[in-house]
Structure 1
Amino acid sequence: MLTLLLTMVVGLLPWSGVAQAHGTIINPSSRAYQCWKDWGNNHMNPAMQQQDPTCYQAFQANPDTMWNWMSALRDGLGGQFQARTPDGQLCSNGLSRNNSLNNPGNWKATNVSRNFSVQLYDQASHGADYFRVYVSKNGFNPTTQRLGWGNLDLVTTTGRYAPAQNITFNVSTSGYTGRHIVFVIWQASHLDQAYMWCSDVNFV
Structure 2
Amino acid sequence: MRRRRRAVLAGGALTSAALLGTLVNAPAASAHGAMMIPGSRTYLCYKDGLTPTGEIKPDNPACAAAVAQSGTNSLYNWFAVLRSDGAGRTRGFIPDGKLCSAAAVVYDFSGFDLARDDWPVTHLTSGAELQFRFNKWAAHPGEFRTYITKDSWSPTRPLAWDDLEDEPFYRVTDPPSVGGPGNEGSYYYWNARLPSGKTGRHIIYTVWQRSDSTETFYNCSDVVFDGGNGEVTG
For the residue of structure 2 that corresponds to 1:170, the secondary structure is strand
2:146 pairs with 1:125: no
Q: Is the 8 A contact 1:126 1:188 kept in 2?
A: yes
Q: CA deviation at 1:18?
A: 5.4
Q: Which residue in the other structure is 2:192 paired with?
A: 171
Q: Is the 8 A contact 1:187 1:194 kept in 2?
A: yes
For the residue of structure 1 that corresponds to 2:91, the secondary structure is helix
> What CA RMSD, in Å, does the superposition of the two structures yield over aligned residues?
2.4
Query: How far apart, in 2, do the equivalents of 1:101 and 1:17 lie?
Result: 20
Q: Is the 8 A contact 2:24 2:73 kept in 1?
A: no
2:164 pairs with 1:152: yes
- When you count helix as a share of all residues, which structure comes out higher? 1
- When you count strand as a share of all residues, which structure comes out higher? 1
Q: Is the 8 A contact 2:87 2:209 kept in 1?
A: no
Amino acid at match of 2:207: I
Deviations 1:94-119 (A, max 9, x none): 22610000001110110112222321
Query: How far apart, in 2, do the equivalents of 1:185 and 1:36 lie?
Result: 20
Q: Is the 8 A contact 2:148 2:164 kept in 1?
A: yes
Query: How far apart, in 1, do the equivalents of 2:203 and 2:123 lie?
Result: 12
Q: Is the 8 A contact 1:131 1:159 kept in 2?
A: yes
Report 1 or 2 for greater relative contact order, CA contacts < 8 Å, sequence distance ≥ 6.
Answer: 2
Query: How far apart, in 2, do the equivalents of 1:15 and 1:189 lie?
Result: 27
Q: Is the 8 A contact 1:73 1:196 kept in 2?
A: yes
Deviations 1:3-36 (A, max 9, x none): xxxxxxxx93367975485111011110011011
Q: CA deviation at 1:70?
A: 1.0
Alignment length (residue pairs): 187
Cα distance change of structure 1 residues 16 and 59 upon mapping to structure 2, 3 Å threshold = closer
2:114 pairs with 1:100: no
For the residue of structure 2 that corresponds to 1:175, the secondary structure is coil
Q: Which residue in the other structure is 1:60 paired with?
A: 68
Query: How far apart, in 1, do the equivalents of 2:21 and 2:141 lie?
Result: 23
Query: How far apart, in 1, do the equivalents of 2:113 and 2:43 lie?
Result: 14
Cα distance change of structure 1 residues 57 and 74 upon mapping to structure 2, 3 Å threshold = same
Deviations 1:147-185 (A, max 9, x none): 000000134342320674421123321111111111100
2:86 pairs with 1:74: no
Q: 2:42 aligns with which of 32, 35, 47?
A: 32
For the residue of structure 2 that corresponds to 1:159, the secondary structure is strand
